[in-house]
């Protein structure tokens, strides 16, 4: 036999070409699934014993062997062999080499097709919890900023043009909400990750008397997959997971864009800590926001990963196809990128300071209370469209006279509408504007304080 080192070598009369081994191997990235692979095998072996498919003694040998292998991997002593393709074969071969015939019984009623599906689900289940924690940390940073700067005012933008004044805290809590939805999405996606695939075997199930429910319970899966063919070909859960991560990355990237703008001299809204910026090798005066820039830049690879994954799946016939091995790198890279981004941004925010005087100053120009004036007219019974036109003319007048709305006299204002009275001035101030916005989800201090309390309760601060 020329292919004896392979666990599947029986049918082959020629040794696998070295180039083929190199081309098909995935061990250099799927070795990160070793813990999950071993956990799955431990549960599977336990079930095999219970079902009388292997003896208790064999089960014990398998168990000890697997635990030793895990230990070796953790200590960095285990040698992964590319010619053994993947994590499953590397571990199984090591087990057989170590304990002999009992090891050769582990793969009873199992295929790598359901095994890899299991490993990935176990892995993503754990990673979901880690991501949920990281997201909560980022949310926490926003709540802290919202608390610290409660009362501070800044311009709110649409089209990146000054639009209406808002509370800094309101802006911070906008991100709290965005990352909150990401958490919800992750939890939802976890429901579909959390289904036991093992027992689907190669594609059609098995004729051997296995107990899938027992394995599910051992591994903490609340459900067992329903259709063996669907199971081994299914990577929907991975797509969902990467899609959720892509949204997280987009949120990080939008935040980063704002941080880059805000820390520029032109805006001058925030001061990033020196310890979270970098300098220039030629321009001595520079302090660059490299962290947000890198996060923004890394969005490309995250979006790309999502594209690779869905494109890889697109044309696959049922059931398992080797193409599916290409799922892991995009999943892992997305996870690494997103979790590192979340961790660093939580820290950066904790060290960031708003320049409140400059922010307030920025609200004083740009006719940002124009909508308030229109709303004022509405309350004086002027139809909104008419009020809009009146205020439009008033703003045009301001531009001509180089004045802000608040600087106009009552006489000047009344040129545009008789409905305007002395009480108009309180609505023309920026604070008055902010404070009036008490609709649910609005930027008034009252509503923002409520939102902040709710956020604190949610995060158990």
Three-state SS at 55? coil
Q: Strand, helix or coil at 19?
A: helix
Looking at beta carbons only, is 322 or 411 nearer to ligand ARG?
Answer: 322
- Look at residue 280 and give its three-state secondary structure: coil
Q: Which is nearer to ligand ARG, 87 or 352 (CB)?
A: 87
Q: Which stretch binds ligand ARG (CB under 6 A): 37-45, 186-194, 273-281, 321-329?
A: 321-329
The size of the interface with ligand ARG (CB under 6 A), counted in residues, is 8
* Catalytic residue flag (residue 280): yes
Is residue 324 within the footprint of ligand ARG (CB under 6 A)? yes
Check: CB of residue 153 under 8 Å from CB of residue 180: no
Residues near 455 by beta carbon (within 8 Å), at least 6 away in sequence: 139, 143, 146, 173, 176
Which residue's CB is nearer to ligand ARG, number 85 or number 182?
A: 85
What residues numbered 16-35 form the site for ligand ARG, per CB under 6 A? Answer: 26
324 vs 349 by CB, closer to ligand ARG? 324
Residue 92 binds to ligand ARG (criterion: CB under 6 A): no
Min separation Cβ 191 and ligand ARG, Å: 23
d(CA 107, CA 201): 10
Interacting span for ligand ARG (CB under 6 A) from 145-153, 189-197, 266-274, 322-330: 322-330
The region of 240-248, 276-284, 320-328, 448-456 touching ligand ARG under the rule CB under 6 A is 320-328
Catalytic residue selected from 5, 28, 264, 280: 280
Q: What is the dihedral of CA 96, 100, 101, 106, to 10 degrees?
A: -30
Choose the binding region for ligand ARG from 243-251, 319-327, 424-432, 444-452 (rule: CB under 6 A).
Answer: 319-327
Contacts of 100 (CB under 8 A, 6+ apart): none
Least distance to ligand ARG, CB of residue 26, Å: 5
Binding segment for ligand ARG (CB under 6 A), chosen from 112-120, 193-201, 348-356, 386-394, is 112-120
In the set 37, 58, 83, 86, which binds ligand ARG (CB under 6 A)?
Answer: 86
Asked if 296 is part of the footprint of ligand ARG (rule: CB under 6 A), the reply reads: no
Among 70, 105, 112, 121, which residue sits at the site for ligand ARG (rule: CB under 6 A)? 112
Cis peptide leading into residue 142 (ω within 30°):
no
Query: Is residue 153 at the binding interface for ligand ARG, with CB under 6 A as the rule?
Result: no
**Structure tokens, 275:** 């310890």
Measured from the CB atom, the residue of 87 and 252 that comes closer to ligand ARG is: 87
Q: Which of 11, 322, 385, 457: binder of ligand ARG (CB under 6 A)?
A: 322
Structure tokens at 366: 């740009």
Neighbours of 441 (CB within 10 A): 12
End-to-end CA distance of the chain: 66
- Residue 272 CB, nearest distance to ligand ARG (Å)? 42
Among 116, 244, 272, 345, binds ligand ARG (CB under 6 A): 116
Length of the chain: 461
Nearer CB in complex with ligand ARG: 86/375: 86
d(CA 338, CA 242): 10
Beta strands in 138-201 (DSSP E): 153-158, 161-167, 195-196
CB contact at 8 A, 109 and 40: no
Helix, strand or coil, per DSSP, at residue 419: coil
Cβ atoms of 352 and 145 within 8 Å: the answer is yes
Of 108-116, 157-165, 191-199, 311-319, which segment contacts ligand ARG by CB under 6 A? Answer: 108-116
Q: Are 248 and 148 in contact (CB under 8 A)?
A: no
Q: Quote the tokens at residue 233.
A: 């070909």
CB of 311 to ligand ARG, least distance (A): 17
Residue that is written with structure tokens 């089960």 in the block: 59
**Is the Cβ–Cβ distance between 222 and 163 less than 8 Å?**
no
Under the binding rule (CB under 6 A), the answer on residue 113 touching ligand ARG is yes
Residue 35 or 340 having the CB closest to ligand ARG? 35
From 376, 416, 362, 365, select the one nearest 393 (Cα to Cα): 416
What is the closest distance, in whole angstroms, from the C-beta atom of residue 10 to ligand ARG in the complex?
A: 15
Nearer to ligand ARG, 182 or 327 (CB): 327
Q: Catalytic residue among 159, 275, 411, 439, which? A: 159
Q: How far is CA 392 from CA 157, 197, 260, 397, in A?
A: 18, 63, 33, 9
Residues acting as catalytic residues = 159, 280
Contact residues for ligand ARG, defined by CB under 6 A: 26, 86, 112-113, 116, 322, 324-325
């Amino acid at each position: 036999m020329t292919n004896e080192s392979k666990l599947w070598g029986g049918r082959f009369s020629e040794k696998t070409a070295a180039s083929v081994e190199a081309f098909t191997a995935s061990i250099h990235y799927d070795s990160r699934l070793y813990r999950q692979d071993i956990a799955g095998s431990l549960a599977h072996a336990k079930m095999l014993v219970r079902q009388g498919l292997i003896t208790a003694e064999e089960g014990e040998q398998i168990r000890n062997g697997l635990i030793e292998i895990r230990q070796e991997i953790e200590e960095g002593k285990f040698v992964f062999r590319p010619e053994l393709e993947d994590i499953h074969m590397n571990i199984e071969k090591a087990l057989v080499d170590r304990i002999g015939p009992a090891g050769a019984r582990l793969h009873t009623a199992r295929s790598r097709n359901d095994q890899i599906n299991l490993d990935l689900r176990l892995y993503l289940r754990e990673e979901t919890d880690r991501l949920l924690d990281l997201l909560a940390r980022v949310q926490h940073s926003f709540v802290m900023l919202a608390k610290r700067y409660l009362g501070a005012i800044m311009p709110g933008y649409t089209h990146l043009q000054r639009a209406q004044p808002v509370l800094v805290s309101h802006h911070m809590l906008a991100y709290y909400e965005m990352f909150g939805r990401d958490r919800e999405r992750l939890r939802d996606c976890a429901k579909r990750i959390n289904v036991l695939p093992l027992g689907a075997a190669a594609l059609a199930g098995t004729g051997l008397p296995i107990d899938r429910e027992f394995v599910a319970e051992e591994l903490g899966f609340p459900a067992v997959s329903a259709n063996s063919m669907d199971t081994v070909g299914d990577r929907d859960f991975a797509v969902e997971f990467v899609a959720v991560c892509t949204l997280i990355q987009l949120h990080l990237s939008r935040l980063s864009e704002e941080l880059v703008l805000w820390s520029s001299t032109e805006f001058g809204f925030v001061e990033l800590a020196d310890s979270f910026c970098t300098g220039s090798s030629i321009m001595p005066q520079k302090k660059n926001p490299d962290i947000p820039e890198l996060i923004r830049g890394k969005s490309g690879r995250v979006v790309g990963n999502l594209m690779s994954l869905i494109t890889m799946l697109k044309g696959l016939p049922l059931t398992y196809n080797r193409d599916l091995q290409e799922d892991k790198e995009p999943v892992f890279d997305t996870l690494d990128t997103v979790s590192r981004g979340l961790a660093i941004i939580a820290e950066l925010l904790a060290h960031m300071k708003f320049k409140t005087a400059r922010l307030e100053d920025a609200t004083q120009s740009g006719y940002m209370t124009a909508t308030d004036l229109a709303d004022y007219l509405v309350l004086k019974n002027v139809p909104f469209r008419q009020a809009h036109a009146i205020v439009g003319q008033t703003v045009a007048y301001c531009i001509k006279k180089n004045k802000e709305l608040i600087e106009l006299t009552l006489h000047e204002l009344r040129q545009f509408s008789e409905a305007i009275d002395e009480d108009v001035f309180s609505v023309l101030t920026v604070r008055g504007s902010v404070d009036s916005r008490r609709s649910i989800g609005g930027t008034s201090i009252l509503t923002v304080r409520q939102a902040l309390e709710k956020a604190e309760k949610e995060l158990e601060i």
